[in-house]
Amino acid sequence: MDRFHELNAFIAVVEAGGFSAAARRTGESQSAISKAIGALEKRLGVLLFNRSTRSVTLTDQGQRYYDRTKPLVDEMDEADGELTSSTLDVSGLIRIAASATFGRLHILPLIPELLSLNPGLQVDLVLSDFVRDMVEDRIDLAIRVGPVNDPDAVVKRVATTPLVCVGSRRYFEQHGIPKTPAELVDHNCLLYEGLTESVNWPFTGPEGRFSVSVRGNLSSNSVETIRTGVLAGVGIGLFAKVSLAHELRHPDVITVLDEFISDVRDISLIWPKRRFVPARVRRVTDFFATALPPRI
């Protein structure tokens, strides 16, 4: 029996929830679907489904097989679609992940233009400071600020953004402005990444790079939380400049220790490493590679 037919029958049963529903979905008979699944299980030497009179569910081996084969079938469908449709048009769903603050400030404003240029696209924008597993969460394209340590991803750096140390005028009127990084030990420093203990902030001086251990009474795994706390006068924060946008032009926001800060953070486009990259992913990647740098 054709292995591709077996695989399509398997995926149809999984997604339809049963053999009869899969038969209706594919237009084949239920016996043909059952025969294909039986041949596939015999060839693999494993049981893919738990069968009962009421339900059909995946076994553990079946779930693993579905997780591995479904993306491959999707890529084959994409390849077929590219050859049978106009190369000028892209369509379908693309799932984009970005950190919450950066996505709100810099990705979301570009979405209308992206959709206007590609009316066949559907965009699912996932905004979270949690670094997503691109394969498990079916992310087509991630846009990240900072280092990327993912051997199973393709990384394209499109821009860099400097770090800035920031506080509000209200805070500095009460506590003074630090003139050197060492003075931060006497200040309330708000810590990103949910760190409740002290953390080292990087600086550069006449003798090279060094770090200062800082601490404070507010930490969070959300850039937005730290940003809001700094603007409210709670303490001092260290940010990638892109996370502040218009706030740096506000008279109540003051940057400090500029002469001691030289670190930058990469802004990168990331997609899963695979042989075939759908046309819509390539199109959206090219769009952000062009549209993002002027905003940074």
Question: In this structure, are residues 165 and 255 in contact, taking their beta carbons and an 8 Å threshold?
Answer: yes
Asked whether the predicted pLDDT for residue 294 surpasses 50, the reply is yes
Taking the domains of the chain in order of start, what are their residue ranges? 3-80, 92-158+266-295, 161-264
The share of the chain scoring above pLDDT 70, in percent, equals 92
Question: Exposure of 112 by Cβ count < 10 A (0-12 exposed, 13-18 middle, 19+ buried)?
Answer: exposed
Work out the pLDDT band at 135, boundaries 50, 70, 90. confident
The yes-or-no answer to whether 92-158+266-295 and 161-264 have a common fold is: yes
pLDDT of residue 86: 47
Q: CATH assignment of 161-264?
A: 3.40.190.290
The average pLDDT across 83-108 equals: 82
**Is there a contact between 292 and 156 (Cβ–Cβ < 8 Å)?**
no
Distance (Å) of CA 113 to CA 62, 142, 275, 295: 42, 18, 29, 14
Q: Give Cα separations from 67 to 62, 125, 137, 224 (angstroms).
A: 9, 22, 11, 34
Supply the pLDDT for residue 194: 52
Per-residue pLDDT at 295: 87
**CB contact at 8 A, 168 and 233:** yes
DSSP 131: P
Which of 13, 45, 44 minimizes the C-alpha distance to 26?
Answer: 13
Q: How many residues does the chain have?
A: 296
CA angle 59, 64, 69 (to 5 degrees): 120
For the segment 60-76, the average pLDDT, to the nearest whole number, is: 85
The two three-digit tokens of residue 148, written as one number:
């990327």
- The tens digit of pLDDT for each residue in 252-270 reads 899 999 999 999 999 999 9
- Confidence band for 147, pLDDT divided at 50, 70 and 90: confident
Reported as a single tens digit per residue, the pLDDT across 156-202 is 999 999 999 999 999 999 999 999 999 999 999 999 875 445 689 99
| Confidence band of 251 (pLDDT split at 50, 70, 90) | confident
The predicted model gives 95-117 an average pLDDT of 95
| pLDDT value, residue 257 | 97
Residue 132 has pLDDT above 80, yes or no: no
Fold for the domain defined by 92-158+266-295 = D-Maltodextrin-Binding Protein; domain 2 (3.40.190)
Residue type, 170: R
pTM of the entire structure?
A: 0.69
* Domain formed by 3-80, architecture: Orthogonal Bundle (1.10)
